Amino acid sequence: MHHRETHLTSNTANLAHLVLSNCQIYLRGLPENPFCVESLNLEQSDHVKNLFLFPHDDAVTLDEKFLSAHPPNTKYHLIIPDGTWSQAVKTYRREPGLSEIQCVKLPPGEPGRYKLRKSSDENRLSTYEAMARAVGFLERNEELLINLENHFDMMVERVIRGRTAFEN
């Protein structure tokens, strides 16, 4: 997560950390402590795949073809850049170790439900929504996806309520 996101009420990385027991947050963008892929201590084997959720030109779509190329017992380490779009782009460009990790992207789907920031494209998703869809898909668990989305909807509703509480 970009360090500038840590204090924001719309910070969805903290929500992901609360609802996913195996989620870890690494800060980036700190001049005195630069992010380094090696700090993630990623393992790679026939049954563990490291993936970077980012719609790069070479990204593979997370679909049935993707799943059929990997055994059902494959475990995934999904790296997700959290921050603004320009921060995410810079992460991929500036961090040389990420170019060695397979980029994956989501197939077209339902529009995002994020109401806290405006987007120029209604099909864009917040980081959390993209994470929820990717994790639900990779885990082959629709119930997990629904649970993650319910937590997201509750967070968005409460942030909106908190922001508008003093407007009346």
Mean pLDDT of 67-78: 91
Q: How confident is the model at residue 13 (pLDDT cuts 50, 70, 90)?
A: confident
The CA distance from 77 to 68, in Å, is 18
Instruction: With beta carbons less than 8 A apart as the criterion, state whether 91 and 81 touch.
Output: yes
Q: How confident is the model at residue 60 (pLDDT cuts 50, 70, 90)?
A: very high
- pLDDT given at position 106: 94
Q: Is 153 left (phi over 0), alpha (psi -120 to 50) or beta?
A: alpha
The CA distance from 66 to 168, in Å, is 50
- pLDDT given at position 119: 60
Q: How confident is the model at residue 166 (pLDDT cuts 50, 70, 90)?
A: low
Instruction: With beta carbons less than 8 A apart as the criterion, state whether 80 and 130 touch.
Output: yes
Mean pLDDT of 37-45: 78
The CA distance from 116 to 127, in Å, is 12
- pLDDT given at position 78: 93
Of the chain, the percentage scoring pLDDT greater than 70 comes to 89
Name the more confident of 99 and 142: 142
Q: Which two tokens stand for residue 155?
A: 């967070």
Per-domain residue ranges of the chain: 3-164
- pLDDT given at position 67: 93
Q: What is the pLDDT of residues 103-121, one digit of tens each?
A: 999 999 887 766 666 665 5
Mean pLDDT of 66-81: 91
Check pLDDT > 80 for residue 72. Answer: yes
- pLDDT given at position 45: 75
Which distant-in-sequence residues (6+ apart) come within 8 Å of 52 by Cβ?
79, 80, 81, 92, 98, 101, 102, 103, 104
